Amino acid sequence: MISKSPERGTFQQESSKKKLNDPNKTEEERQAALDMLCVYEQWIKEAEARELDPSWQKDNMEYDLRSTDWICKKVRNSDTYAQNLYAAMCNNDFIKNDVMPILKEQKWSCSWRHAGGIIADMRQEGDYIDWYCSGIGDGLGNGDKTGEKGYVGESVVTDEVKGDLLKLGWIVIEDNGHV
């Protein structure tokens, strides 16, 4: 079973709903908001269908993360661990620790927003925006200004996360391109 947040995709939908219901918006702006709501609903349906496809599940770190109970529990039980896993997925490439993916150089990576969505799904709550830019600290994000939370910057891979990804069958590709 793949872990999923019931609120996934709601951040964008709520913004469109506010515009749709705003009496100060023009009819064109409200129509654009309605059109965007339809786009978001379609996007969610397509994502749900894609996640059932065995070819999407194969050599896909997102699937492995969201369908592995022990790592989902770690993410649910610790905001720090959840943020550290989010940060690791940002600006990094990963490869399945298996002969064919390594020989074919089949890398996995995702955007910061997508990484935030993966964490929300693993926690079964919230949306990507709850984790997006969480490593920035005293700046744009909802980061850890004082360092007391144990949050790390985007692209930092802690030893704990690196070890857990290896247990899951994934290797972080280092800056020099080597696994």
For 155-168, how does the pLDDT look when each residue is reduced to its tens digit (9 = 90+)? 999 999 999 999 99
Side-chain half-sphere exposure of 165, counting CA atoms within 13 A? 27
- For residue 139, pLDDT beyond 60: no
Question: Which of 23, 24, 20, 126 lies closest to 82, judged by CA?
Answer: 126
Average pLDDT, the chain: 91
For 32-90, how does the pLDDT look when each residue is reduced to its tens digit (9 = 90+)? 999 999 999 998 999 999 999 999 999 999 999 999 999 999 999 999 999 999 999 99
The amino acid occupying position 19 is K
Q: DSSP letter for 23, please.
A: T
Residue with tokens 């004082």: 146
Distance CA 126, CA 140 (A): 19
Residue 154: pLDDT band (50, 70, 90) is very high
Burial grade of 154 (CB within 10 A; 0-12, 13-18, 19 or more): buried
